[in-house]
Structure 1
Amino acid sequence: MNSLYNGIPKWHLWSGLNDITKNQDYSFGLGPSSSGVEGLLGISRIHIDPSENNRQGRVSVSLANRSYIWRTMGTYHSGLGKRNLAFSVSASKRFGTRGYIEGTNYNATSVYGGITYKPNNMHQFGLLTCFSESLRGQRAAITKEVFELKGRTYNPYWGFQNGSVRNSRETSRKATITMLNYRFHTDRLEISLGASYIYNLQKRSRLDYFNTNNPDAVYYRNLPSYYANLSRDRLSPDVVRVKSSFLEQSQINWTALYEVNTKKTRKGKCSYLLNNDVILDKEWLFSLKTLYEFTSFLSLHTGVWVQHLKSDNYALIADLLGSTYHIDVNPFSNTKNDVKGSEKKQKGDTHKYAYNIMGIKSESFFQLAFNFKRIDAFFSANYSKTAYQRNGFFINESFADNSFGKSPILSFDNLGVKVGGSYKISGNHLLKGFLIYQTSPPTIQNSFVNPRANNTVVEGLSSFTKKGSEANYFFNSFFLKGRLTGYLFDYSSETRIAFFYAETGVGNDFFQQVSTGLGRRHWGGEFSLEYFPFPNISLDFVSSFGHFVYTQDPDIQINFDASQATEDVINPVGKVSLGGAKLRNYKLANGPQHAYALGIKYQNLKYWWVALSGNFLAENYIQIANIRRTESFFINPKDPDGFPFPEVEDGKARDFLRQEKLDEIFLFNLVMGKSWKLGHAYLNLLVSVNNLLDLTYRSGGFEQARLANYRQYANDVSQGMPSFAPKYWYASGRTFFINLSYTFRK
């Protein structure tokens, strides 16, 4: 269920079906898996077979102030009946006019149905399907300046229209999954066959504007910092005026957008429109897995699977905001986006770009496992083949020779090997160790430089390498149990693509930044302990200490549109190599690298319980801008010989390039529950409160890459109010979740 586009699991496909998907098991870290050689972080298996559930039903209602306000859910399992049939059905509805963050509306529906037929103990047939539909208003990362003016719940993406909140950036999804499976089982042999079809439609909206003012309330020219840097005075009249204006109008002014679009001078032509970036994925998956037990101590897993993706991508005019048509021309280069199509586009028309991506991945694997009294061991290997191809449906005038039709087929062959074992010192002590070597293909996302415009692929694109080792010690006694883990994971030769507008030492433009040869290392340790001082009280301690850094300096190439006016073009080729970016030993922005939690739980014999935990999070860094770590950062674009700025100082440069570490955080969370037995039924109440002390903190962030030359960056930070400061994600304050469920067994 991992996406070929970005490698991430598609969790949203079954979002809201908690009752159905709660039965899971995990292969942690590098442990053995019935699916062969997986990645370095293990695998989750979700069991949704109706025959695995006893006959029961459950209805629940929830209240919250996080993403949604309320949720209702109902589930029924028939259990395996006299006709050897079992079925399950489930449905949920989640809704909220806003979550904790302003303007984040939420509306989601999910439905599941499954049936299993077991004619005897050897054969089992299953048909499962689920449907999900959702609409969510998005939030924005904001600078410290904006946070100090508006607070942590501020979101610039929305505004009032006719008295109602309207978010300009909404994500809507509609998806169905249909699965057929067959299982054959004897004492020694198990065969599983599966086929799945996924239909996944996603739309992301955003405002586009043409030859007019940027509608974004936090556009840098709408903020006090811009005028403070212009005047070199943080208290100038312009700063005071703009601050007052921003506080009065800090949301999208929908009324003003309609007024501009409906001016008589526009003659129906739009200046603003609401665009939908659409992705329609149609995906087939086929799998065959076998398990054969040669003896009580020797078994063999084998398997093959194929994943085929057709992904249609296009931009759709969702709303012309009072106007009647749009001219589909790039406003920066004055070139047509769709040479063969009509230049005049209306609501519902495809514009800007249209293409599809075909992706196919096939894999075969085996795992040989040995199980003895004290020693377990396994060896597994896999081989996979992956191919991608883009097919453009528009002739983009800026890339007339490279936008329409099919790209070359990108093909990657990969293999992986994993070995590991365990040693039972005694019934209470266990040792485990694992090693892995694996190559993996780049994702679709990191293969095509600018797929919305052309067929260009990353130069020298190749697979990347993953190597890892892990060791575990488990101990267990009557009142104490725990785990100690150490790990080392290395990734090398990775590729990353980023999109942004920047002012660099070689010129200004909207760039596609291609970073190749990236390397990173994750090493650290984990320790967990559970102590039972009394039968009804447990103490938990969990700690994670990590060191996650870049280990290689990647090569940076920037790509751009070379069809603009001659005086504005950096070069006619449309790309510049900036050489290496000095990233080695910078920290990865993967969240806190140190985490510690201490919890206490009390369980009463009258079926109620309460748990309190304290969590300390540290060593959390923001994402750095790679382009700022290249030599081009110091080059004066106005110097004909490409010399650096004369005012560059080593000490100041180190300050500019120092990675920001976010504040350490200490959070308290509280969870309580109560259960009542009502004949053959149960009533359960669950209450949880996160961030009990209502602390304000930043959970993550990133550097803005716009000012990618030394002089402009120095000017921007000189007054202590930078216009292009890092942007942060401010976490929610105190939030709650209340769930009341009723479970019946007849």
Structure 2
Amino acid sequence: MRLLQGYSNNLNTIKMKKLYSLIVALFVSTIMFSQGTVTGTVMDGDMGTPLPGASVVLQGTQNGTSTDFDGKFTIEVSEDSGTLVVSYIGFVERRISFSTYGDIGSITLNPDAEELEGVVVVGTGVIDLAKERETPVAVSTITAKEIQLKVGNTEFPEILNTTPSVYATKQGGGYGDSRINLRGFNQNNTAVIINGQPVNDMENGWVYWSNWQGLSDIASGMQVQRGLGSSKLAVPSVGGTLTIVTKSTEKEEGGFAKISAGNDSYFKTVVGYNTGTNEKGWSSSILLGRWSGDGYVDATEGEGYTYLFSLGYMPSDKHAFNFTFTGAAQWHNQRDFELSIRDHLNYGGDDFRKFNGDWGMLNGETYTFRRNFYNKPIGTLNWDWNIDDKLSLSTSIYGSWGRGGGTGPRGRNFSINPFRKDLTEGITDGLTYRNADGTIDFDAVVANNRAGDAYTVEGPYEGAILGSNGFSDNGVNSNIAIRRASMNSHNWYGAISNLKWELNDEWTLGGGVDLRSYKGFHYRVLNDLLGLDGYVSTGNENITEGLIIRETIKASPFNNTGLTDNKIDYYNVGKVNWFGFNGITEYNNRNNLSAVLQIGVSNQTYQRIDYFNQPNEDAESDKDSKVGGYIKGGANYNIDDSHNVFFNAGYIERQPLFDAIFPNFANAINEDAENEQITSFELGYGYRSSFLNANINLYNTTWDNRFISESIRGVQGLDNGTANFAGVKQVHSGLELDFNMRPVDRLRLDGMMSIGNWQFKDNVTASVFDGDQNLVDTATLYVDGTKVGDAAQFTASLEADYEIIENLGVDVTWRHAANLYSDFTFQLDTRNWANDAQFLAPNNRGALKLPSYNLFDLGLDYQFDFEKSNIFIRLNVNNIFDTEYISEASSSIYVGDEGPASDAPVSTYKGIDDRNLVWFGFGRTWNLSLSYNF
């Protein structure tokens, strides 16, 4: 019985298990059969083109997908109704409801210029970004994806070379030594703004890109606003504004790791991680990177580190805070010695473009006179306050602490570098410390330094081998060479605050302040004594007998920069304080018309402190203040969904640079210094369709009342003197075209063309001062009608981007540059062998026109997709045909001109005299990167 009863129980258990299994199967089947699919297409609202890679997520779930190359998506859903969250970097997120399975049609996303990359949590109120078909300015936007794809181991500004009226070069070719021109204006007349904060040097307006080597890693995107731009800073730029937005605390958790390799031993690693925003509103991000390389140009090794930390806090919808600390510490060897074409050809070997005249061998190792080193961390605290539905306040408080400088030769040993000659003639005439290959014999330099007499004065230095640049008694040797470091450090603090008041759906008022306090430290210290036991400095006029110095400062951003140590040659401080106010009125009927009127006024105060060339009691100069300002406005009219037109106009009174207030390296205030005057007018037209998007702009900018100061030697018998040129005037006008189109599936074409006519207007009178600031002469430079040099006045590019198969893409870019003229200095020295003194004569031939050139770049990438991560591989080959070209020149020697070795046979390169001083562009280079994103 027990056996039968047990059998019965087992049978019942088996039946119950089968029943449970059947119920589970029926339940699962019900769920499966109730699932369906929703399909659709995501489109760019501005361009009318598909958005590949857009995110589509079922609201309230982790169920999501992304669009393919044609913007199409398919997502499995468990119910026939719900809401899809559709998002794409740089576009406004949308929520789309559905009530049935199947195709829900096209979903249009509109660009969100205020976020640019969709990752900035706060700080957007101080970042002035233009919106297409709304802001009446000429603008080009470059996304983070484009930056990551194209920069590689090239210079950060070079990614802009395919935008209209931009000309960026590597200049000497060291890491970070690039520069950029916009509409023919160099970068001290082009505003560079990072996260809403100005970074142009407060004294000379320059931007040193080596200080921002890490921007390609931390940038969320950037905009080039040509002309007046939309910046509300108290005084905008002349040529345009480059606005860069860096990564901030990101909304979603995730991270990445990336490694890159390239030509000439380039290697880079970057890692980053974002915590995402937690339930209490906190978020943080961190990024660390390191790069190193030998450099394309001979002896231009370098190494750098990038760091970024960001902490965000959003306690409510009304308040959001974000703190960011970032920087890029680096050192790199440079090529600073100006070389002629024949120098390159005579000493450059197989690839003459790489030749560098600043280096040689010391004790069997590479050594150079020129090394740049700098660390410029910047800390920023942003606060966005939504006071109510109509009123908001955005504030940014920042500080920057730059430390570093650059090394170079110091001494009277002119058998190292030629004087008023190129290297070819100098070596022909006999440069004792140059090898036959043009490099410097540093072992011989050290031997010469050590061959001097011993110091004869009793005391701790008796018997030491001492050298000096201005003292030769008591056994001190003045025929020496050392390596000095010229330091340009600063402390910079500022605050920007903008209030925005939306009166109604159409009218908006705004106002803000821009506060800056800058203190720049300029001095020289010893870096390498090159065999000497010490150096006698006579630069400080407050020390009558000179100062013997033995301590040296390392050329590294991570070491003491000598701010509190003994200095040589000079030591002065520049102080600039700035207060600015801006006001803005905007109109937008949300249909077809938008307009803006902006005004700004600022007060800039200057003071100079000289601890070496002024008696101690007179070290501080008087203060001088200049008031500047601007008024600008414009309107955009959308004729229909395809056509729009805009115009803008403005007038700027820009305060002079620091050296115009204190010319001639002295504390005497220039009472004749006046504001620069800029007037600008622009017309634009835009076209949008599903096939083609295009923009055409016409502009005219007049830059008047410039002040230029140049050091001179040999004029009127002066050993040292200064020529001041006042009232310099330039007129820049031109036409710009850019477009993108999709002629067939999987293919996108982007192109541009810019035609400029940039030239000087009227001749210029110079005042010549001796070393004691006495007026000794005047002279006229005949520059009326001379072409502005340093940037190609005709540029064009075309890029084809094709997706071969899903996740595999290739792109080819062609770039053309023409009407490129040599840059020139305002010179009065008739012995200037580079021939800039030709402008002392009327009817001169003007700036030398350089050969045009064409370059081709190639890119190839592939992405491996996983459930919640991907691996991305990218190969860039720049200048794939290894084209030889001159990127810039600084002389205007015409065939047949007299000059050094003028009795020698004339040689030419591509039709120009090979005595001209030039920088050649790089030949073929490459980089390969692999990134893991999760």
TM-score range, shorter chain: 0.7 to 0.9
Structure 1 residue 73 corresponds to structure 2 residue 270: yes
Matches within 5 A, 1:515-554: 515-554=725-764
Matches within 5 A, 1:398-547: 404-451=618-665, 454-458=666-670, 460-500=672-712, 502-504=713-715, 506-507=716-717, 509-547=719-757
Match of 1:360 among 574, 577, 597: 577
Percent identity, aligned pairs only, is 19
Using the TM superposition, give the Cα deviation of residue 697 of structure 1 relative to its aligned residue in structure 2, in angstroms: 1.2
Task: Tell me, in whole angstroms, the C-alpha distance in 1 between the residues paired with 2:900 and 2:482.
Answer: 34
Which of these two proteins has the greater Rg computed from alpha carbons?
Answer: 2
Task: Tell me, in whole angstroms, the C-alpha distance in 1 between the residues paired with 2:407 and 2:514.
Answer: 35
Q: Deviations over 1:269-321 (max 9, x none)?
A: 12221111111200110121111111111011211011101111111011211
Counterpart amino acid of 2:398? S
Task: Tell me, in whole angstroms, the C-alpha distance in 1 between the residues paired with 2:678 and 2:762.
Answer: 14
Task: Tell me, in whole angstroms, the C-alpha distance in 2 between the residues paired with 1:276 and 1:738.
Answer: 35
CA 251–476 in structure 1, closer or farther in 2 if over 3 Å, else same:
same
Superposition RMSD on alpha carbons, in Å?
A: 3.0
Name 2:58's counterpart in structure 1: none
Name 2:330's counterpart in structure 1: 134
Using the TM superposition, give the Cα deviation of residue 255 of structure 1 relative to its aligned residue in structure 2, in angstroms: 0.7
Task: Tell me, in whole angstroms, the C-alpha distance in 2 between the residues paired with 1:536 and 1:715.
Answer: 58
Matches within 5 A, 1:141-220: 141-150=338-347, 151-185=352-386, 186-210=388-412, 212-216=413-417
Structure 1 residue 393 corresponds to structure 2 residue 611: yes
Name 1:351's counterpart in structure 2: 568
Name 2:928's counterpart in structure 1: 738
- Residue 257 of structure 1 aligns to a residue whose secondary structure is helix
Task: Tell me, in whole angstroms, the C-alpha distance in 1 between the residues paired with 2:530 and 2:508.
Answer: 64
- Residue 23 of structure 1 aligns to a residue whose secondary structure is strand
Q: Deviations over 1:719-741 (max 9, x none)?
A: 35699943111111111122211
Higher strand share: 1
Using the TM superposition, give the Cα deviation of residue 554 of structure 1 relative to its aligned residue in structure 2, in angstroms: 2.3
Using the TM superposition, give the Cα deviation of residue 26 of structure 1 relative to its aligned residue in structure 2, in angstroms: 5.2
Structure 1 residue 57 corresponds to structure 2 residue 255: yes
- Residue 311 of structure 2 aligns to a residue whose secondary structure is strand
Task: Tell me, in whole angstroms, the C-alpha distance in 2 between the residues paired with 1:618 and 1:531.
Answer: 25
Task: Tell me, in whole angstroms, the C-alpha distance in 1 between the residues paired with 2:767 and 2:897.
Answer: 21
Aligned residues of 1:101 and 1:153 also touching (Cα < 8 A): yes
5+ long unaligned stretches in structure 2: 1-197, 456-464, 468-479, 553-565, 833-837, 908-912
Structure 1 residue 668 corresponds to structure 2 residue 856: yes
Name 2:205's counterpart in structure 1: 7
Using the TM superposition, give the Cα deviation of residue 581 of structure 1 relative to its aligned residue in structure 2, in angstroms: 1.1
- Residue 311 of structure 1 aligns to a residue whose secondary structure is strand
Using the TM superposition, give the Cα deviation of residue 489 of structure 1 relative to its aligned residue in structure 2, in angstroms: 0.5
Task: Tell me, in whole angstroms, the C-alpha distance in 2 between the residues paired with 1:299 and 1:520.
Answer: 36
Counterpart amino acid of 2:530? L
Using the TM superposition, give the Cα deviation of residue 674 of structure 1 relative to its aligned residue in structure 2, in angstroms: 1.2
Name 1:645's counterpart in structure 2: none
Using the TM superposition, give the Cα deviation of residue 30 of structure 1 relative to its aligned residue in structure 2, in angstroms: 3.0
Structure 1 residue 112 corresponds to structure 2 residue 304: no
Name 1:310's counterpart in structure 2: 519
Task: Tell me, in whole angstroms, the C-alpha distance in 2 between the residues paired with 1:34 and 1:382.
Answer: 8
- Residue 343 of structure 2 aligns to a residue whose secondary structure is helix
My pick for the range that moved more, 109-118 or 181-190, is 181-190
Using the TM superposition, give the Cα deviation of residue 177 of structure 1 relative to its aligned residue in structure 2, in angstroms: 1.2
Counterpart amino acid of 1:741? S
Match of 1:728 among 915, 918, 921: 918
Using the TM superposition, give the Cα deviation of residue 160 of structure 1 relative to its aligned residue in structure 2, in angstroms: 1.2
Name 1:719's counterpart in structure 2: 904
Counterpart amino acid of 1:176? P
Name 1:101's counterpart in structure 2: 297
CA 542–704 in structure 1, closer or farther in 2 if over 3 Å, else same:
closer
Aligned residues of 1:17 and 1:111 also touching (Cα < 8 A): no
CA 712–144 in structure 1, closer or farther in 2 if over 3 Å, else same:
closer
Using the TM superposition, give the Cα deviation of residue 136 of structure 1 relative to its aligned residue in structure 2, in angstroms: 1.1
Using the TM superposition, give the Cα deviation of residue 413 of structure 1 relative to its aligned residue in structure 2, in angstroms: 0.4
Name 1:608's counterpart in structure 2: 808
Matches within 5 A, 1:279-294: 279-294=488-503
5+ long unaligned stretches in structure 1: 228-238, 331-335, 563-572, 636-649, 706-710
CA 437–16 in structure 1, closer or farther in 2 if over 3 Å, else same:
same
Using the TM superposition, give the Cα deviation of residue 449 of structure 1 relative to its aligned residue in structure 2, in angstroms: 1.8
Using the TM superposition, give the Cα deviation of residue 124 of structure 1 relative to its aligned residue in structure 2, in angstroms: 1.0
Name 1:121's counterpart in structure 2: 317
* TM-score, L = length of structure 2: 0.69
How many residues are treated as equivalent by the alignment? Answer: 683
* TM-score, L = length of structure 1: 0.85
Counterpart amino acid of 2:550? Q
My pick for the range that moved more, 481-490 or 317-326, is 317-326
Task: Tell me, in whole angstroms, the C-alpha distance in 1 between the residues paired with 2:340 and 2:884.
Answer: 15
Using the TM superposition, give the Cα deviation of residue 508 of structure 1 relative to its aligned residue in structure 2, in angstroms: 5.1
Aligned residues of 2:433 and 2:444 also touching (Cα < 8 A): no
- Residue 533 of structure 1 aligns to a residue whose secondary structure is coil
CA 167–22 in structure 1, closer or farther in 2 if over 3 Å, else same:
farther
Task: Tell me, in whole angstroms, the C-alpha distance in 2 between the residues paired with 1:246 and 1:49.
Answer: 48
